[in-house]
Structure 1
């Protein structure tokens, strides 16, 4: 399995994501959207950074259970109920990402949504990983 990160010099420098990921391998792992749910199915955390940390942790738990690591992530989509708040917290969210997932970034997008399945959820992450 290989996951080659492509960041063309003609595009703006990527910060916290890769412009493209070329994946070659034999298994794809599709990760369902994860919010800040605890083991009892309750949303935890009142702030975007708190919920982001829990949602990312949940995504990484599912990823590891599938036999993958954060470096195997090829694509992550972040669904936020307030992109302006997401941008305002971006430095802190980046620190959380690096602490939990490291410095290897997948191709990413942040999409603003009206609401998520649970009314208290502020952010949801889903993804695709590639295993050899």
Structure 2
């Protein structure tokens, strides 16, 4: 997988990445920091209570809307930080992540297990760093 906006490096002497890239070097000039997104719809209703896949999908939909608003694509995302109350279910998170990134190389990523988020119904929150040309 090649990226127009990011140089991707996965060192051969460490484990293969699963759903992320070990090193991402941005090629752009402008950086945007996306606030952590939760599984809220536009009306502040929690989507997918007790369903990590549905919540992750809603979070990525919110990120997609944010990317659209600033004129960016998934290829512009250089780093995500995932906060979840279910870190052991990284396979579920990774599968949904792959749906959104598609053929674009995944970004550098940190997955952090937490005891709680903004409300007890939330299972996941994702923030992102985006690099663009202008």
**TM-score clears 0.5:** yes
Give ranges in structure 1 of 5+ residues lacking alignment: none
Aligned partner of 2:67 in structure 1 is 63
Deviations 1:22-49 (CA, angstroms, capped at 9, x unpaired)? 1122111111100110111121102011
Match of 2:57 among 53, 56, 63: 53
CA RMSD of aligned residues (A): 1.4
Give ranges in structure 2 of 5+ residues lacking alignment: none
Q: How many Å apart are 1:95 and its aligned residue?
A: 3.1
Length-normalised TM-score, structure 1: 0.90
Look up the SS of the partner of 1:31 in the other structure.
strand
Length-normalised TM-score, structure 2: 0.89
For these two proteins, the number of residue pairs brought into alignment is: 128
User: Counterparts of 1:79 and 1:95 in 2: how far apart (Å)?
Assistant: 16
Deviations 1:90-121 (CA, angstroms, capped at 9, x unpaired)? 1x433322222213200001101111112210
Deviations 1:37-77 (CA, angstroms, capped at 9, x unpaired)? 01111211020111011011111211221110001100001
User: Counterparts of 1:126 and 1:33 in 2: how far apart (Å)?
Assistant: 4
